[in-house]
Amino acid sequence: MIRILGDNNSIFNQFIAELRDETVQKDSMRFRRNLERIGEIFAYEISKELDYSKKSVHTPLGIAEVPVIKQQPVLSTVLRAGLPLHQGLLNYFDKAENTFISAYRKYDGDGTFHIEFEYITGPIIDDKIVIISDPMLATGASMVLAYKAMLKKGNPKHTHIVSIIASNEGINYIKKNLPNKDITIWVGAVDQELTVKSYIVPGLGDAGDLAYGNKE
């Protein structure tokens, strides 16, 4: 199942527009904050899909029966670009356990690259809801690697994949390489083009560099 939040008119698209805008991108703090705010909106929308149970809350004047989340999700992200988006999700799912995955593009001599996995740290995820976030879903290879790395920690009940901007190629790659059931893909927008260097067009550039500075 694929949910594209940007297909509906809302303030969400204002944040997407600012992320893409090369003038606004010059303010790295603003860029990080927009990633975080988008994460908060994704968290709110995903929360509608979770299971709830009634809780009796004692107020100064009586007792209110309030539906609350039955089971907190496990939040997972791919370092480093995913950190602000992850923080936005964590702002709302503030009791969630967290997993961090280290993976990066390792460029080969012929100009191509492969995804290198380094480590994963986090809790056991058997029968839990997992939310994996990464701002850009380009080829889809990093996300597939992240999902398979998570399986070393157990078998989740359901996985929500969150990316702000995706390519058609990346979405198709996930459909082909991950189970069709028990996975929901959440994206802000889907762009049609992917360059030979696997950058999404029009996209927004390198999210990690824009958030934290250029890397060597």
CB–CB of 37/15 below 8 Å? yes
Q: Distance between CA 185 and CA 120 in Å, rounded? A: 21
Burial 108-130 (b: 16+ CB within 10 A, else e): eeeeeeebeeeebebeebeebbb
The helix (run of H) or strand (run of E) holding residue 34 is: helix 28-47
3-state secondary structure of 131: strand
Average pLDDT, integer, range 12-34: 96
pTM reported for the whole predicted model: 0.91
Q: Which two structure tokens, joined as six digits, stand for 79?
A: 């370092």
Average pLDDT, integer, range 178-198: 90
Residue 65 scores a pLDDT above 70: yes
Residue 76 scores a pLDDT above 80: yes
Residue 30 scores a pLDDT above 90: yes
- pLDDT, one tens digit per residue, over 109-118 is 666 666 667 7
Q: What is the largest CA-CA distance in the chain?
A: 71
Average pLDDT, integer, range 48-57: 97
Q: Distance between CA 83 and CA 133 in Å, rounded? A: 9
Regarding predicted confidence, which is higher, 116 or 124?
124
CB–CB of 210/204 below 8 Å? yes
Q: Distance between CA 50 and CA 27 in Å, rounded? A: 35
Encoded amino acid at 113, one letter: F
Q: Which domains does the chain have, with CATH numbers?
A: 2-212 (3.40.50.2020)
The helix (run of H) or strand (run of E) holding residue 19 is: helix 12-20
CA distance from start to end of the chain: 37
- What confidence category does residue 79 fall into, taking pLDDT thresholds of 50, 70 and 90? confident
- pLDDT, one tens digit per residue, over 130-187 is 999 999 999 998 899 889 888 989 999 999 999 999 999 999 999 999 987 899 999 9
Q: Distance between CA 45 and CA 56 in Å, rounded? A: 24
Q: What pLDDT, on the 0 to 100 scale, is given for residue 75?
A: 97
Q: What percent of the chain has pLDDT over 70?
A: 93
CB–CB of 37/16 below 8 Å? no
Burial 39-54 (b: 16+ CB within 10 A, else e): bbbbbeebeeeeeeee
- What confidence category does residue 196 fall into, taking pLDDT thresholds of 50, 70 and 90? confident
Residue 33 scores a pLDDT above 70: yes
Q: What pLDDT, on the 0 to 100 scale, is given for residue 141?
A: 87
Average pLDDT, integer, range 10-16: 97
Q: What pLDDT, on the 0 to 100 scale, is given for residue 66?
A: 97
